[in-house]
Each structure stands twice: as C-alpha cells, then as structure tokens.
Structure 1
Amino acid sequence: MRRKTAATAATLLLLTACGGGGSTGGGDDGGGLGPDASLWQQRTAASDRYTGFCAAPRSGNDPYNDNLPYPDRQGSIDDEKLWLRTYMHQVYLWNDEIPDARASRYTAAAYGSVPAALDAYLYALTTPKVTASGKFKDAYSFTYPTDQWNALSQLGVGIGYGMEVALLASIPPRSAIVVYTDVGTPAFSQGIARGAEVLAVDGVDWVNDNTRAGVDTLYAGLFPATAGEVHRFTLRDRNGGIRDVFLQSLALNSVPVERVQTFDTPAGRVGYLVFKEHYATAEGELAAALTRFRDAGITDLVLDMRYNGGGYLDIASELAFMVAGQTRSNGRVFEQLRFNATNPLARSPDSTVAFHATSQGFDPSLDSGKALPELSLSRVFVLAGRGTCSASEALINGLRGIGVQAVLIGGTTCGKPYGFYAQENCGLSYFAIEFSGANDQGFSDFADGFAPDCRVSDDYAHELGDPNEALLATALNWQQTGTCGTSSATRAAAAVQRPASEVPQLLRSPLHENAWRRSPR
C-alpha cells in the first residue's frame, strides 16, 4: 500500500494501492518578506498569499483558536490547489522529487467532493521513489478534517467504540481481530475482548464480501463519522461463541497509558505499561506512571508500544528522558530534524529536539515546567510490531543514540523516520512529510523499520499485561536469562498464532501513525 487516506474507504479496508500523478510546476520565491521575518513566517511566505480562498468558506468562530472568526474567504478549488502546490514546493521533504501533474484533473466532480479531490492532489504531488526494500519513501502524507484533527491531537477525543481492530488478511477471505478495548467504552460494556474476530458488520460478510456497496457498509460501520451511530457487529469471541452486538459510536477520550503494573522476578522488579498514543493527554499519564515505577524501585521497564503509531515528538522526548535520566541525556540530542535544502527551518534552533527534563505544557493536568521523574535505566524492553510507528520509533532511536539498550520484542516496526507540522487551509489539515529525524549519533536509516531482537507473533489468546502473553513473557524471560528463550507461555502462544506471513495491519486513522511537532509560533 502506498499510503492510507481519510478519504477512501477501499484504501483502508482492502489495502489497495492508490493511483498518482504530479504537479503543474515549481514552487515560488520567499513571498516578499524581509530579512527580519521569522524563519517560521518565511517557511510558508509564498503559500500564505493564497491561504484562505476557499471553495466552501466556513462561517462563525474557531473554538480551537481562541474562538476567533475563521479566516476563510470565497474562492474556488483552483485557489486551494494553487495554495497546496505552492506549499508543497516550500516545505515537502522531497520537494526536488515532486512529479508533474495536471491540477485540472483533480475536481470535486471526479472525486466526489472538494476534500477528496484535494487529498488526491496532495497524493499526486508526493515522491514516487522507493526505499531499498521497494517500499514507497512517502507512504504517509495525507489530509484530515481540521476540526477532527484539533479534537484528537489537543483533547484526545475521537469518534468510535473504544476498540482497536487489526486486519490479518486484506483480501477475501479476510480476517480481522480485536486487539484491545478501552475500559468504560461501548465495546467494553458489550464484553468485547482482545481476540474477538469480526465476521460481519451491519449484515455484510466481513470475510467474503468484495463488492463496492459491501465495502462501503463495512467502512461506515468500522469508522463511524459522527457520534450516535448504531452499527451491528457479528463477532466470534475467544471462546468460539458467535454473537451479534450493537455498538453506538461516541466521542471518546483517549486513554494513552494503561495497565500500569509491576512484576517481581528473581532478577528484580519490572515495571510494565501499555502506551498507545503520544497524544497531549499522555504527558500527565506517563509522568504519573513513571513516578510510580521510580517509587516502587523497579530495575527494568517494559514499554508495550506494539499498537502505538506515534503522535507528538516532544512527548516521546519526555518519556526518553524519564527512562534514561539526566546523567545520560544531559546536553544530548533526542532528535535532529532534517528539512529540505530550501526550508528556512533547517536553520532554526527548533530543528533540534532535546531530551525534555520538564513537562512541556501539553496536558493541563500537569503544570508546564514541572520536573519529570527519572528512572535512570541503561536498558528498556519495547514490545513492538508493525503498529509501532513514527514517534514510537523516534523514542527507540533516541534512546539508542545515547547508549540506552532498547530491546525490541515482537515484529519489525513500521519504518517511519519522518514527521511534519500540520498545516490548515479552508478546514482541511495537510500532513505532508516535512522532515526526517536522526538521533544523537546521526542515525536515521530506518525507513524499512527496526527489526526485533526477539521475533514473537502477537498473542491474541491473552490480554495485554498478562505475564503469560507471549511478548511480555519473552521480555520477562530476557530480563532473567539474557536471551529470547522459549518459555512455556511463548510455546503455548505459538500454537494459536496465524502464519508468520500474515502481518497484522491496524485499521486506524492515519493520524495515529505519525510524528507531529507543535508550531513554534
């Protein structure tokens, strides 16, 4: 798959590759700003001249920008495409690889809506080049409705049922399984647990139906657009029983950190937590969890990030500091951001992300500037897989850059050493890859992912945090023996795993698989 898009149902459900084109020409000059303009202003000076001319201007006030009036004016989709083309030539990491495309092809009539046409045009402007393994360098740039992005990134609020589903087979006969549910959500109240298989959605056969109408129904049920929708799921529970459940979508607050617990082993006390997303609300939860571990005197830590697609890089930096401590991280670089040659941010002090020893003010529950707890560990175990992406990989890379051993258990990570600043225009936010990230030693070559030290298939027969769950059992075995080992738990789990060729793909928004940076403005 080239990339996932919020606009196309078939892309997420069938994981088919999208078609692509290119752009109608080059970028623009600095837009007339003088040398006193900030680097941040210079970054988008050319495209700023075309900002806010919208095919469908918004009215009223923006609740995520101090309730100020929306800046939209009447324009056209051609104005929005002109803005996008100019913006891409300014900030896109591979702006020297943008192909030619005919902007006039990307119309609402051809794609069904203005946002869908703009999403397709963004895709057309991305590099067609591939990595050494044949994977597209940019499988990630996408668009997303701005109001939904603000709600998710700032408040951790998204529409759903409180369950995460992974696709094990993408073409009929398809296979999908629930990998976790969140406490207090509709899925949890219906008794849906890890390991439940999805058989049908709203009467459409999940396993075999491959019609356009069927795929649209499956997509609408799995990804409800609004709160209050009710959809019927046919599930096979872990015990083999088949049942129908009705789930009503809600605006749910994400809980990024869960299952904070400790295990006593002959080799010492181990802390364990499930870390699912680097959202703003994770800042306080992580600080509280690691304070608990510090006070408990743990000697090893297991970070379960197998389903963590990323989020704010600065949250990853805070967690890396809490793991490594002041002595190892002081004066070192967590991530050095590398931009295209013409991006003014390449000259900015903001291009270096330090190890944050204090809270950065993401989470209102934690005062900004508060000293973070330190575990001062020389080793951390990371439970990982294809769902471990972007900011989560930056955490692994950043720790390794200062000599902290990051032992990876599970599968190969997604391979995304890239990130961006979200850029909004006319109610649509653009997430075009703007930078790559290197650690303190200058290493950034993981576009094909980090390979695990212990390759273990995901164990859907046990709940996360169960010491008999295969990945956690392997980590505990390594902590005691120094090897991957073949504990009774891993042997039992292997007996119920899918074939090794089936690599699970989490069915989630592309917002969950990225590294974001907050605007320095």
Structure 2
Amino acid sequence: MKLFRFIVASSLSLLLLYSCQDDRDDNISNINELANQENIKDFIWKAMNLFYVYKSDSPDLANDRFDNNNITDYRNFLNKIDSPVDFFFSLLADQDRFSFIVSDFVTLEQSLDGISRSNGMAFGLIQYEGTNTVFGYIRYVVPGSPADVAGLERGVIFNRIDGNLFTPQTNFNLLLSPDSYTIGLADLQDRVLTSRDEEVSLSKIQLTENPIHEHKVLDVDGLKVGYLMYNNFRTPFNAELNTVFSNFASEGITDLVLDLRYNSGGSIETAKDLSSMITGQFNGQIFAKQIFNENFEEENLIFDNEISTGETINSLNLSRVYVLTTESSASASELLINALNPYINVVQIGSTTEGKFEGSATLYDSPDYSRRDVNLNHTYAIQPLILKTANKDGFTDFFDGLPPDINQSENFENLGTLGNVQEVLLNRALQEISPGFAPSSWQEKNRIPVEIIGENQMFEPSYQRMYIDSNSLSF
C-alpha cells in the first residue's frame, strides 16, 4: 500500500505536548486513571482531526473549530468531557457505527491477530421474529479448544447460561463475559424449543484461531470443486492460505465455493491477496479504491502477485466464484465481493451482508500515530474509520449490505456438516455449478423469519473491522 501523504496538517499548531515517563512502574494497574486525561484527549482530537473519514460531518473536528487557534478555548473544549472514551464518541458522525476506542491496545493487537480469551465455541444467537423464542446455536468449534474437549459440535442448540433462560431482553454481555460459565442444552424441532436436562461447563483460555476452518476438493458429477471456509482475513495466516490455493491448483479444480458466512472482516491487504488467489489474471489493475477525508488523496489498491512475506501468490485464474454469505459477513468479506464483481462472475448465495465498506487503522499516542515511540503514560488507542472502499467502478456506500443473487437460509434444526454436500448453503452452490445436482434433504421449507441478535465475536475489539495492517502503514 502506498503511504499516506500529509496534504493538510491539523489547524491547531499550539496543541499540548506529551511528557514521557522513563521510570514507569510496571506494577501500576490503574495507569490510565493516573495519566493526564487532558493529554489523552488531545491525542484523540489530533488523530481524529487528521484521519477520520467522516471529519466533514463532525463539526467539532473542523479545522476552524477554535478561533485563531486559541489554546485556551481548545483546552476548555477538551475538559468539557472527563472520560477519554466519552470524549472520543462525542466526535463521531451520525452515520458511523464502527469506530471505537480501547483502553488496552495490546488486547486489540492480539484480537486482530486472532488471539483472544475464548472457549472456542463459535455461536450465533437467534430470535424467531414475532415470538419470544431465543436460542443459541453452535456454528463450529475451534479444534483443540475447551469447547472441542467438552464434546460440543456444530448444530448444538442452547437456551440458557448459568441457568438464565434466554429472552429478547437478555443481557448477553453480562452472561458471556465471565471466564467460565455453563450452557444449558435444548432441542429444536418443528420450531419448538425444549430445554434438556444437560449442562456443559466451559472455560476461556488464550486461544489463537486459524481462520482457515475447512478446505477440500469435492467431486461433483465429475467436476472438481474447491471448498474453502474462511472465517477472518488475518495476515499471519496468509502463507497457509496460499498453500491451500496451491493444492487447489494442483488438483485442477474448475470451480470454487468460498464460504464467508461467518467472516466478519479483517485485513484489507489479505482481502486483496485472497482475491488475487481466486483470479490472477488482473495483475496491475485496480482492485479497489480507498477514499479518505479532505486531508488525503484517493488511492488505488492494485492486484499483485505477492503476499506480505514476498511469496508468489498461487492463482487459479477463475472467471467465476461462488460466495456463501449471511448477515454475519462483513467488511473485508464485502470488500472481496464488491472488488471482484466488475471483473468476474461473483455468484452470492445466502442472505444479505452487514453493509460495512469503511476501513480503519489503529492509531496510537505517538508523534506519528504509529506503534513506534508510543506514549507509555497510558494504554489507550483508537480505531477510527479512516477510509471508504469502492470497487474500480466507484461503487460504495452500500449501507444496507450486499444482497445475494440466490436466497438461501441455514436450517437451524439441522445445520449439517460444513463441507458436506448436503449442507444447505454449499448444496445450493453445487446445484448452480452442476445443474441437476440433487437438492439437500436438509433444506428447510416454509421458514419462519429469524433475526440474528448476536454472535460470539460481538464483544471482541476486532469484530466487523476492516483495517489496514500496521506493517502496511508508513506515516
């Protein structure tokens, strides 16, 4: 990625200076409370004034917000709101659903790399529309995790945590935040939910999840079809992802089903790399456009043939790809679909995606907002939206998501096995690839509309984020 060019600097030249504490006591647990709150808010305002993509829609970030660069007015403004967190959110534009601030940037960094405290149970929370029926369903289990050891698997239904029965008013943040809890299992048949007298205890550990959950080559009426379930765009796994595509190429697959149904986003660079693995015939052409605020020029992301390690991309040169989506498919997943649409036939199967086309970056309290020379007096960092993405034709602002070409919902009473030709979303794709391929016996008829009211990732700082990799930034 080309570095950001600083065209317009902040209008406030008399901003506050930070002091460095060389003798920081590593045993202080309340470092953020002891830090100078005004200085923290100063960092937040400067970074937002420079980078925030919706700066023009936030009056408090205007370059002429303070008459004649009046430092007294500026300091009074900073001190009107005590909390740095509340101050940050006061600066956001109305249309911004995704910018956030963290009090511990190390936890954020780990989350973006797939490292978090988790029991390994990936789940969705469902409510049947027009009813009070609320339940959780296990989407998949991370191999080797506590959930795996406990014998949990895809398709298990649960309707309570620590004995608390789910309702539309349930505070899931409260129930799911402890390091240990029990889930109460249930049966779902003919849309009737029945509690079972069975509890499973789960504990969280520090867990690294490989986003490449499943990959295989299927024989479909004599055709070789690649299947890849990919659950997050994480740069540390790019070499392994490239190896998967080497295997696909050696197997001579003619079609690819890319399963992004639970993929909430991740790295913009990785989305570009995966797109190049699917294609490869568009090197040197525009993958996507990055649109910034008034301070920066628009930049083009270009298809290339190398991943971040310098390894040559293994490309399939496909002219068509089948992508499985749900409401949980967001940001970088949507970028891949939108960016490939002008070039090849992207057949989207499932349901409408989240509708997030903005990208962010982690900005630190340092002279150039990078991780280098970070201020050690506190551990705040911000992750504001700093760009919008558009495909080469300029299509963006899809706030309502990307609708599927073929509507197909999961059957919560029988989710099936991921990668099995009877699993309903994959099966629907195979019907398109090979006309006459037998429809799944698991396909649900006369489905009651459901609403996804939550999922396991929703409290993670990396949830539904599309971001610029820190090693791609050069401030």
* TM-score band w.r.t. shorter chain: 0.7 to 0.9
| 1:407 to 2:407 alignment | no
| 1:284 to 2:239 alignment | yes
d(CA) in 2 for partners of 1:378, 1:167 = 36
> What residue in structure 1 maps to residue 368 of structure 2?
none
Amino acid at match of 1:493: Q
Q: Which has the higher helix share?
A: 1
How far has the Cα of 1:304 moved from its partner?
0.5
After superposing the two structures, state which structure 1 stretch, 44-53 or 195-204, moved more: 44-53
d(CA) in 1 for partners of 2:14, 2:450 = 47
How far has the Cα of 1:220 moved from its partner?
4.6
d(CA) in 2 for partners of 1:458, 1:178 = 12
Amino acid at match of 1:376: N
d(CA) in 2 for partners of 1:172, 1:126 = 34
- Equivalent residues of 1:179, 1:195 under 8 A apart: yes
How far has the Cα of 1:169 moved from its partner?
2.6
* RMSD after superposition: 3.3
| 1:354 to 2:302 alignment | yes
How far has the Cα of 1:494 moved from its partner?
1.2
d(CA) in 1 for partners of 2:417, 2:42 = 50
- Equivalent residues of 2:47, 2:363 under 8 A apart: no
Q: Which of 416, 419, 429 does residue 356 from structure 2 map onto?
A: 416
Distance verdict in 2 for CA 1:175–1:89, change over 3 Å: same
> What residue in structure 1 maps to residue 215 of structure 2?
260
Matches within 5 A, 1:101-500: 104=79, 106-107=81-82, 117-128=83-94, 137-144=95-102, 145-154=104-113, 156-169=114-127, 173-207=133-167, 210=170, 215=171, 218-224=172-178, 229-236=179-186, 241-266=196-221, 268-325=223-280, 327=281, 329-341=282-294, 343-344=295-296, 346=297, 351-360=299-308, 368-401=309-342, 403-425=343-365, 426-460=378-412, 461=414, 462-481=416-435, 488-489=439-440, 492-495=442-445, 499-500=448-449
How far has the Cα of 1:82 moved from its partner?
2.8
d(CA) in 1 for partners of 2:215, 2:188 = 24
> What residue in structure 1 maps to residue 72 of structure 2?
none
Distance verdict in 2 for CA 1:158–1:264, change over 3 Å: same
How far has the Cα of 1:448 moved from its partner?
1.5
Q: Which of 455, 461, 472 does residue 506 from structure 1 map onto?
A: 455
After superposing the two structures, state which structure 1 stretch, 197-206 or 452-461, moved more: 197-206
How far has the Cα of 1:164 moved from its partner?
1.5
How far has the Cα of 1:204 moved from its partner?
2.3
> What residue in structure 2 maps to residue 363 of structure 1?
none
Distance verdict in 2 for CA 1:73–1:258, change over 3 Å: closer
d(CA) in 2 for partners of 1:260, 1:39 = 40
- Equivalent residues of 1:267, 1:479 under 8 A apart: no
After superposing the two structures, state which structure 1 stretch, 117-126 or 448-457, moved more: 117-126
Q: Deviations over 1:354-382 (max 9, x none)?
A: 2231111xxxxxxx211110100000010
Aligned-partner SS, 1:464:
coil
How far has the Cα of 1:338 moved from its partner?
0.4
Q: Deviations over 1:83-103 (max 9, x none)?
A: 222322221111111155976
Aligned-partner SS, 1:381:
strand
d(CA) in 1 for partners of 2:152, 2:32 = 44
- Equivalent residues of 2:231, 2:263 under 8 A apart: yes
- Equivalent residues of 1:386, 1:505 under 8 A apart: no
Percent identity of equivalent pairs: 26
Q: Deviations over 1:247-279 (max 9, x none)?
A: 111000111002111111126210001100111
Amino acid at match of 1:417: F
Amino acid at match of 1:441: D
Aligned-partner SS, 1:39:
coil
Distance verdict in 2 for CA 1:303–1:85, change over 3 Å: same
How far has the Cα of 1:512 moved from its partner?
2.5
Distance verdict in 2 for CA 1:444–1:253, change over 3 Å: same
Distance verdict in 2 for CA 1:162–1:73, change over 3 Å: closer
- Equivalent residues of 2:283, 2:304 under 8 A apart: no
d(CA) in 2 for partners of 1:500, 1:72 = 45
After superposing the two structures, state which structure 1 stretch, 391-400 or 118-127, moved more: 118-127
Amino acid at match of 1:188: D
- Equivalent residues of 1:53, 1:79 under 8 A apart: no
d(CA) in 1 for partners of 2:232, 2:218 = 23
d(CA) in 1 for partners of 2:275, 2:18 = 39
Amino acid at match of 1:454: I
d(CA) in 2 for partners of 1:54, 1:495 = 64
Q: Deviations over 1:225-259 (max 9, x none)?
A: xxxx3222212267975411111110001110021
- Equivalent residues of 2:10, 2:49 under 8 A apart: no
Distance verdict in 2 for CA 1:52–1:252, change over 3 Å: farther
Aligned-partner SS, 1:492:
coil
Equivalent pairs counted in the alignment come to 427
d(CA) in 1 for partners of 2:99, 2:393 = 27
Taking structure 2 as the reference length, what is the TM-score of the superposition? 0.81
d(CA) in 1 for partners of 2:20, 2:177 = 27
Aligned-partner SS, 1:376:
coil
